Structure 1
Amino acid sequence: MSNDKSNGSATSSSSEDSLAKEMTESLLERKKEGKEEEEEESEKKKKEEEARTTVQTTTGKIETSNIPFGARRLVKRRKVVNDGAGTFVRGDGDAAKNNEKTNSAEECEHPAFMFGICVHCGQRATTVKNDGGGGGGDEEKKEERGGANAETAVRYLHEGLTVSDKLLREAKNEERMATLNQGKLFLVLDLDHTLLNSCRFDELNDEERESLDRKVEKREEEDELRSKLLGLVGGGDAGGGRRPRFPDLYCLSHFSTYTKLRPYVFEFLEQASKICRMHVYTMGDKNYAHEMASLIDPEGKYFHGRIIGNSDSTCSKTKDLDIVLGGDDCTMIVDDTSRVWPRHARNLIRVDRYHFFRKSATSFREMEKSSVMERGLDEGEAEEEGAPAKHREVLKDVLAVLTVAHRMMAFSDGSGHREKKDHKDVRQVFERNGMASEGENGGNVESVDPASSSLLLKGCVILPSGITPSNDERPDRHPLLLVAVGLGATIATAMNDNVTHVLARADNTEKVKWGRKRGLFIVNGNWLRECAMQNAKLDEHNFATL
């Protein structure tokens, strides 16, 4: 009996010990979990504080080597720390002393914000910023900028950067002066249908895809072989050798897209970079814009981050020079669509759309066989060796326009001495002579600057034939006609007795036949282009339309 009690007592004691042990372990486990939660919460708060401090000092960490001169003032070092009382002050000395130097949050003009926090006083942004990329019409967005605290997002310069319009104006002017001091213009380039043409995989049939894949594979093999050969002979830019020609047809699987670069694009960028500071501005998204820019500028020597996508623009459906660091009076724009630049038509060089893919041409309701894949000939290619090219290399004509603009802006007085303050407005270079229709002064308009030695074609009245489409809204912005006007010629829009030259693509048009009967010069576009590039009036007989 006593043994039973003893056994029962032992069993009861054992059960109690086991229960106590379980309870203790449970309490320890809860305590451990609670401690872990506290540690997690503490770590979370620590990270938030670090993030906030990082925002305050971000502008002091920005890499500015690739940021334009005028843009550096937007992101210049301004270290700000928390003084423990919720007030952010400069971290370069005694807090009380710095508090006297620093304006209060209420008095701060908020020159710039990084991720919504003022880089000067640390206050969060409360004003509506002009950041584009959605909601509201373009005119509505422009009106928002009229206030004293108006801001503009310049994310393409640095992620999260928003600046006051006052600071933006100062930065634009600084960049303008610095670039003019270098004897350069500003050039804004569109991508799609201007410098290249892209097409999605699902817009192509099987036959087209097979053909493209073969071309891509062949181009990649040729480029690899060319690179090896140049490496063996010590070629390359550094040794003064010829730069290898990059492939101009790409299969971008990560975008499910084929992209074809426009002929002469590499040579164009190389030459334009000598007289222009270049930007990319596209209605495509930012990732696409940077991917395309890497194709046309694989070495990263032309744009240096000056790549503006749709989300960077202050307008949702149009483009504007408001966020381009530079001046409207020294900026040229190259685009295939004039209507997207409603405020800057005078800066525009409107190029013919480049359609390599069939789907690209049909989407714009172009004529049958308007694409390169359908007709089999690209720009600058001839049907047979020795024959003239059937389709002009458009970028060569654009380069001629830029050359005329640069020369006519009078950066030099002839002795090599630059006078940036005396340069002409680039928009006026191509407005000395208008598009004269029949009955307007007989088709002639007097030149504003008759004494200029650069007006090589003064006195020439040129009648275009087949140069621009009949439904072109702005035929005066075509590259060849801009060259003609920039060199002093007058453009006639109708046949009249004052016409001296007929500029034609083909030799069987009514205007060409009319001109031949009167013994007029019948020339092709190469005459204008070469006059511009050689800065001389060349013999028209060497450029007759065939």
Structure 2
Amino acid sequence: MGKQQITYNDTTRNIELQNLRNRKKLCLVLDLDQTLLHTKSVHKLTLQEYIGLKTSSQKDVHRWKFKGLEKVTKLRPFVREFLEEASKLFDLYIYTNGNRDYAMRMVGFLDPDRVYFGSKIISREDSTVEGLKGLDVVPVDKSGVLILDDTKTVWEQDSSNLVVIKRYDYFAGIDPMSSTRSLSEEGTDEKESSGPLSCALRLLGELHATYFQCYHIFDVNELLGFYRRRMEIMKRSC
């Protein structure tokens, strides 16, 4: 466990939620890895991926170093549009099981002008249970908080707030014998207009609109219950 852990009392959470409601917003907590981007060590790339990286001119591919090791990060298609549109409906938070240095580096790629996140970045040092994520470190009452993450198991206590998105694996996996070629090896990628982030944005927009029609009756947990089948379809097909 880290040394920076901060949790919030119910009064603080309720005040923050009311402030959001007054601005017709909710809170959206976003995962980083395999949700908004994919990072891999350069030395773990396949030969074809490495050759492609050397000749790539993609604006959303970033090479960087961490403790002497070269890394490469690929932003997910539609991520910039997603953040721009989602920020009109939600206060955006990043929550990663990576460390703070990694989180800050990734946010620098996603939000170089610091428009969307500011200091609203939560890393593993902030979590109160090692290896897990929890809304106890988010200063908003959970009745107004949605989560977008590709991994359900890290949200043991707050899975009812979770929208699961299809995992983004741009680079090849760890199995060298796999016959499945990665998006990078194929020279392709998810579609901007109909990929998982685009589908997620539409769903989040519907949840936001429905919430503000009836938040005096339902909180986001109950709304997500109504949308659960839709989310399963989104996870499989988008």
Do both proteins adopt the same fold according to a TM-score greater than 0.5, normalized to the shorter chain? yes
The alignment-based identity, stated in percent, is: 31
Aligned pairs for 1:97-176 (under 5 A) are 132-133=1-2, 153-154=5-6, 168-176=9-17
Task: Provide the residue aligned with 1:11 in structure 2.
Answer: none
Task: Provide the residue aligned with 2:183 in structure 1.
Answer: 372
Aligned pairs for 1:383-398 (under 5 A) are 392-398=194-200
Residue identity matched to 2:53: L
Q: Does 1:346 align with 2:142?
A: no
Per the TM alignment, residue 181 of structure 1 is displaced from its structure 2 partner at its CA by: 1.0
RCO higher in 1 or 2 (8 Å CA, sep ≥ 6)?
2
Taking the aligned partners of 1:424 and 1:309, their CA distance within structure 2 comes to: 30
Aligned pairs for 1:99-498 (under 5 A) are 132-133=1-2, 153-154=5-6, 168-215=9-56, 218-219=57-58, 247-254=59-66, 256-358=70-172, 361-362=173-174, 368-380=179-191, 392-411=194-213, 422=216, 424-432=218-226, 477-478=231-232, 480=234
Per the TM alignment, residue 422 of structure 1 is displaced from its structure 2 partner at its CA by: 2.4
Residue identity matched to 1:422: H
CA distance 1:288–1:366, shift in 2 (3 Å): farther
Taking the aligned partners of 1:479 and 1:341, their CA distance within structure 2 comes to: 20
Per the TM alignment, residue 397 of structure 1 is displaced from its structure 2 partner at its CA by: 0.7
Per the TM alignment, residue 299 of structure 1 is displaced from its structure 2 partner at its CA by: 0.9
Taking the aligned partners of 2:46 and 2:228, their CA distance within structure 1 comes to: 46
Q: Is the 8 A contact 2:48 2:185 kept in 1?
A: no
Taking the aligned partners of 1:213 and 1:173, their CA distance within structure 2 comes to: 50
Q: Is the 8 A contact 1:369 1:375 kept in 2?
A: no
Per the TM alignment, residue 171 of structure 1 is displaced from its structure 2 partner at its CA by: 2.2
CA distance 1:204–1:407, shift in 2 (3 Å): same
Decide which structure has the larger Cα Rg and report it: 1
Q: TM-score, structure 1 length as denominator?
A: 0.40
1:267-316 Cα offsets, whole Å, 9 max, x none, are 00000000000100000010000100111111101011111111111111
CA distance 1:433–1:398, shift in 2 (3 Å): closer
CA distance 1:272–1:370, shift in 2 (3 Å): farther
CA distance 1:370–1:348, shift in 2 (3 Å): farther
Q: Is the 8 A contact 1:198 1:259 kept in 2?
A: yes
Q: Is the 8 A contact 2:40 2:73 kept in 1?
A: yes
Taking the aligned partners of 1:321 and 1:301, their CA distance within structure 2 comes to: 23
Gaps of 5+ in 1: 1-131, 135-151, 155-164, 220-246, 382-388, 413-420, 436-475, 482-503, 506-524, 526-546
CA distance 1:179–1:366, shift in 2 (3 Å): farther
SS of aligned partner of 1:408 = helix
Q: TM-score, structure 2 length as denominator?
A: 0.88
CA distance 1:253–1:478, shift in 2 (3 Å): same
SS of aligned partner of 2:9 = helix
Per the TM alignment, residue 366 of structure 1 is displaced from its structure 2 partner at its CA by: 11
Taking the aligned partners of 1:351 and 1:280, their CA distance within structure 2 comes to: 15
CA distance 1:174–1:168, shift in 2 (3 Å): same
CA distance 1:260–1:334, shift in 2 (3 Å): same
Taking the aligned partners of 1:366 and 1:182, their CA distance within structure 2 comes to: 52
SS of aligned partner of 1:257 = strand
Q: Is the 8 A contact 1:133 1:315 kept in 2?
A: no
SS of aligned partner of 1:430 = helix
Taking the aligned partners of 2:228 and 2:80, their CA distance within structure 1 comes to: 33
SS of aligned partner of 1:263 = coil
CA distance 1:366–1:261, shift in 2 (3 Å): farther
Task: Provide the residue aligned with 1:139 in structure 2.
Answer: none
Per the TM alignment, residue 210 of structure 1 is displaced from its structure 2 partner at its CA by: 3.3
Taking the aligned partners of 2:170 and 2:130, their CA distance within structure 1 comes to: 27
Taking the aligned partners of 2:217 and 2:83, their CA distance within structure 1 comes to: 24
SS of aligned partner of 2:33 = coil
Residue identity matched to 2:186: R
Task: Provide the residue aligned with 1:40 in structure 2.
Answer: none
Q: Is the 8 A contact 1:193 1:336 kept in 2?
A: yes
Q: Is the 8 A contact 2:132 2:154 kept in 1?
A: yes
Residue identity matched to 1:405: L
Q: Is the 8 A contact 2:161 2:224 kept in 1?
A: no
